[in-house]
Amino acid sequence: MDNFLNEIEKEKVIRFTEQNLRIATDNYSSLMGSGGFGKVYKGNFSDGTIVAVKVLHALSEERIEEQFMAEVGTVGKVHHFNLVRLYGFCLERNFTALVYEYMVNGSLDKFLFNSDKAIGFEKLYEIAVGTAKGISYLHEECQQRIIHYDIKPGNILLDRIFNAKVADFGLAKLCNREILILP
């Protein structure tokens, strides 16, 4: 029964404190990357779960709020093998962060644009199919259609065995099923 209850609890998006994330990331010591909306750090919780912690920053509080709501409002509500999983978030006065499953192989762009890390055609095909499955799920299978708006190699993450996971839902929009023409 405990295992069952633990699995059910894992399905919920968890609200973390800034202190939880500071401890998990060893005071943000392992920077994995950065982008327009923030920096991503590797973290490790006491139970052994490795995570990616995206600390949001923006030019204005309104942009942080938009990014946060887009990410939590979309990926926080859906579950699919080919979508990166959102474990939780932190929303405190001067600190906003998103906590995702960790993808050991990083993003696809590392392998497409770096000849030292090239991968074979068969694996690229599998990655393309996995990406398409994730996008198809968002567009066709979700109760409320989700349009990503920013599919690119940097937003396709790869797990240990190179399964594709669509990530970075900062520009995503929820659309009613009746809408045929997208903005």
The pLDDT assigned to 135 comes to 92
Q: What is the pTM of this model?
A: 0.82
Quick one: pLDDT at residue 66?
72
26 is catalytic: no
Q: DSSP alpha helices (H): ranges in 15-120? A: 18-24, 61-74, 109-112
C-alpha span between 36 and 109 (Å, rounded)? 17
Q: Bridge-partner residues for 147, per DSSP?
A: 173
CB 103 within 8 A of CB 81: no
Q: Strand 50-56 relative to strand 14-15: parallel, antiparallel, unpaired?
A: unpaired
Q: What is the pLDDT of residue 10?
A: 59
Q: How far apart, in Å, are the Cα atoms of 128 and each of 97, 103, 125, 139? A: 29, 17, 5, 16
Q: Could you tell me which of 92, 52, 100, 94 has the C-alpha nearest to residue 72?
A: 100
Q: How many Å apart are CA 165 and CA 46, to the nearest integer?
A: 25
Between CA 22 and CA 28 the distance in angstroms is 6
Average pLDDT of adjacent 10-residue blocks, the chain of 183 residues: 56 88 97 85 96 80 71 78 92 89 94 84 97 92 80 94 88 55 49
Rounded Cα gap, residues 156 and 119, in angstroms: 15
The CA distance from 137 to 146, in Å, is 9
Catalytic residue chosen out of the listed positions 2, 26, 109, 150: 150
100 forms beta bridges with 52, 86
Q: Per residue in 74-110, pLDDT tens?
A: 777 788 999 999 999 898 888 889 999 999 999 999 9
Matching residue, tokens 């991968």 = 119
Q: How many Å apart are CA 49 and CA 60, to the nearest integer?
A: 32
